[in-house]
């Protein structure tokens, strides 16, 4: 009788472990990939505007509640800003405002920014998958690789000022740099099948570290395949 009881207990334990193994395999380090299409909006000191943007990403489930994800977004359009104003004045030090304006050069500034790629690494925190709708909270960091260009076009030059003076002559300046900062956002995973999801997603990149404003709002619809 004691042997029969021991055999039954061992059988129940073995069945329990066999049933638990597939569930563990499904939730532990489960990878996923996908693509996105949406809008990339820039609000910065230099430029502003919206662009259509496509992206691709990959991630892995660290647990039932947390995914780690890496993404590349490629905006299609150039962001611009143009204005006209006083660029330099040849008035002597201490001159009154009227004299500064009279001897000032009026210039048109045409600014443009190309975002070659926006890279981000985030954590997506969510309830366990398995429902039709699964909300998620997003936190991480992002980096934009940008090329800024400014075209200076003199509009009005005071009498007696050399039009070829280096501070007056029309010119173009450009630079390439990285703009980075924290990212926060939210999404909603809509299960189409157990492996395929449609995910509306919104993220805000705060790049205004220091005195310069460089922020971006990204909205997209994502297609996600989990393996």
Write out 140-195 in H/E/C secondary structure.
Answer: EEEEEEEEEEEEEEEEECCCCCCCCCCCCCCEEEEEEEEEEEEEEEEEEEEECCCC
Instruction: Answer whether residue 204 is part of any domain.
Output: yes
User: At 160, is the pLDDT very low, low, confident or very high (cuts 50, 70, 90)?
Assistant: confident
Q: What is the pLDDT of residues 128-142, one digit of tens each?
A: 999 999 999 999 999
Query: In whole angstroms, what is the distance from residue 188 CA to residue 136 CA?
Result: 6
Nearest to 129 by CA among 70, 202, 191, 59: 191
Q: Is residue 179 pLDDT above 60, yes or no?
A: yes
Instruction: Answer whether residue 54 is part of any domain.
Output: yes
For the chain, the straight-line distance linking the first and the last C-alpha, in angstroms and rounded, comes to: 47
For residue 171, the domain's CATH number is 2.40.160.20
Instruction: Answer whether residue 24 is part of any domain.
Output: no
Instruction: Answer whether residue 67 is part of any domain.
Output: yes
Instruction: Look up residue 145 and give its two tokens.
Output: 């690789």
Residue 211: what pLDDT? 82
Q: Is residue 45 pLDDT above 90, yes or no?
A: yes
State whether the Cα torsion 56-60-65-70 is positive or negative. Answer: negative
- In the predicted model, what is the mean pLDDT of the chain? 89
Instruction: Answer whether residue 2 is part of any domain.
Output: no
Instruction: For residue 40, give its domain range.
Output: 29-226
- Give 118: exposed, middle or buried? Use CB within 10 Å, 0-12, 13-18, 19+: buried
Q: Which residue has the higher pLDDT, 168 or 25?
A: 168
Instruction: Answer whether residue 217 is part of any domain.
Output: yes
Domain count, the chain: 1
pTM of the complete model beyond 0.85? no
Instruction: Answer whether residue 185 is part of any domain.
Output: yes
User: At 208, is the pLDDT very low, low, confident or very high (cuts 50, 70, 90)?
Assistant: confident
């Amino acid at each position: 009788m004691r042997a029969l009881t021991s055999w039954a207990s061992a059988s129940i334990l073995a069945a329990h472990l066999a049933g638990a193994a597939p569930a563990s395999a499904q939730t532990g380090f489960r990878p996923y990939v996908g693509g996105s299409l949406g809008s990339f909006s820039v609000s910065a000191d230099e430029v502003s505007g919206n662009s259509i943007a496509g992206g691709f990403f990959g991630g892995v489930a660290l647990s039932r509640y947390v995914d780690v994800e890496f993404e590349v977004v490629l905006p299609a359009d150039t962001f611009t800003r143009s204005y006209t104003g006083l660029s330099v004045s040849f008035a002597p030090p201490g001159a009154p405002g009227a004299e500064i304006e009279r001897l000032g050069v009026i210039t048109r500034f045409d600014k443009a920014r190309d975002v070659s790629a926006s890279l981000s690494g985030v954590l997506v925190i969510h309830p366990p998958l398995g429902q039709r709708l699964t909300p998620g909270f997003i936190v991480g960091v992002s980096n934009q690789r940008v090329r800024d260009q400014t075209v200076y076009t003199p509009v009005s030059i005071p009498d007696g000022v050399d039009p070829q003076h280096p501070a007056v002559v029309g010119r173009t300046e450009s630079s390439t740099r990285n703009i980075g900062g924290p990212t926060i956002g939210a999404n909603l995973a809509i299960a189409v099948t157990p492996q395929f999801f449609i995910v509306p997603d919104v993220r805000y990149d705060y790049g205004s570290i220091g005195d310069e404003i460089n922020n971006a709002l990204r909205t997209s619809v994502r297609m996600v395949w989990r393996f």
